Amino acid sequence: MSSHGAPIPMTSRACGPLKGEAQVPGDKSISHRSLILGAMCIGETTITGLLEGQDVLDTARAMRAFGAEVTDHGGGRWSVIGVGVGGFAEPDGVIDCGNSGTGVRLIMGAMATSPIAATFSGDASLNGRPMARVTDPLALFGTQAVGRTGGRLPMTVVGAADPVPVRYTVPVPSAQVKSAVLLAGLNAPGQTVVIEAEATRDHTERMLAGFGAEISVVETAEGREIKLTGQPELQAQHIDVPRDPSSAAFPVCAALIVPGSDVLVPGIGLNPTRAGLFTTLREMGADLTYENEREEGGEPVADLRARFSPDMKGIEVPPARAASMIDEYPVLSVVAAFAAGQTVMRGVKELRVKESDRIDAMATGLRANGITVEDGPDWWTVTGAVHGNVAGGAVCASHLDHRIAMSFLILGMAANAPVSVDDGGPIATSFPIFEPLMAKLGAQVSRDTA
Which residues are the active-site residues? Answer: 327
* Residue 115 CA: distances (Å) to CA of 76, 110, 139, 143: 33, 12, 14, 9
Cβ pair 431, 404 in contact under 8 A: no
Does 321 bind ligand S3P (CB under 6 A)? Our answer is: no
| Strand 238-240 to 42-48 pairing | parallel
Cβ pair 264, 303 in contact under 8 A: yes
Does 407 bind ligand S3P (CB under 6 A)? Our answer is: no
Distance, CA of 70 to CA of 65 (rounded, Å): 10
Residues numbered 91 to 150 that lie near ligand S3P (CB under 6 A) are 102
Per-residue binding string, ligand S3P, 348-367, x by CB under 6 A, is: --x---x-------------
Minimal distance, residue 354 CB to ligand S3P, in Å? 6
Residues numbered 408 to 447 that lie near ligand S3P (CB under 6 A) are none
Does 34 bind ligand S3P (CB under 6 A)? Our answer is: no
Residue type, 144: Q
Minimal distance, residue 155 CB to ligand S3P, in Å? 17
Query: Which residues, at least 6 apart from 13, have a Cβ–Cβ distance to it below 8 Å?
Result: 412, 413, 418, 444
Among 3, 11, 12, 29, binds ligand S3P (CB under 6 A): 29
Residue number with CB closer to ligand S3P (305 or 358):
358
Among 34, 179, 271, 398, binds ligand S3P (CB under 6 A): 179
Question: Helix axis angle, 132-141 relative to 101-111, nearest 10°?
Answer: 10
Distance, CA of 255 to CA of 262 (rounded, Å): 6
Cβ pair 127, 153 in contact under 8 A: yes
Q: Identify the burial level of 447 via C-beta atoms within 10 angstroms of its C-beta, where 0-12 means exposed, 13-18 middle and 19 or more buried.
A: exposed
Total residues binding ligand S3P (CB under 6 A): 11
Minimal distance, residue 161 CB to ligand S3P, in Å? 27
Does 198 bind ligand S3P (CB under 6 A)? Our answer is: no
The stretch near ligand S3P (CB under 6 A) out of 4-12, 157-165, 175-183, 394-402 is: 175-183
Does 326 bind ligand S3P (CB under 6 A)? Our answer is: yes
Cβ of 246: how many Cβ atoms within 10 Å? 22
* Residue 418 CA: distances (Å) to CA of 121, 180, 237, 286, 446: 36, 42, 47, 24, 11
Minimal distance, residue 189 CB to ligand S3P, in Å? 26
Distance, CA of 63 to CA of 50 (rounded, Å): 15
Minimal distance, residue 179 CB to ligand S3P, in Å? 6
What is the C-alpha end-to-end distance of the chain, expressed in Å? 15
Does 59 bind ligand S3P (CB under 6 A)? Our answer is: no
The stretch near ligand S3P (CB under 6 A) out of 120-128, 173-181, 365-373, 412-420 is: 173-181
The stretch near ligand S3P (CB under 6 A) out of 4-12, 172-180, 364-372, 438-446 is: 172-180
Does 273 bind ligand S3P (CB under 6 A)? Our answer is: no
Minimal distance, residue 67 CB to ligand S3P, in Å? 23
Assess whether the previous peptide bond of 418 is cis (omega < 30° from 0): no
Among 201, 305, 321, 358, binds ligand S3P (CB under 6 A): 201
Among 175, 253, 264, 322, binds ligand S3P (CB under 6 A): 175
Minimal distance, residue 175 CB to ligand S3P, in Å? 4
Query: Which residues, at least 6 apart from 346, have a Cβ–Cβ distance to it below 8 Å?
Result: 316, 317, 319, 378, 379
Three-state SS at 279: helix
The stretch near ligand S3P (CB under 6 A) out of 148-156, 170-178, 294-302, 392-400 is: 170-178
Minimal distance, residue 28 CB to ligand S3P, in Å? 7
Distance, CA of 207 to CA of 210 (rounded, Å): 5
Does 176 bind ligand S3P (CB under 6 A)? Our answer is: yes
- Binding site residues, ligand S3P, CB under 6 A: 29, 102, 174-176, 179, 201, 326-327, 350, 354
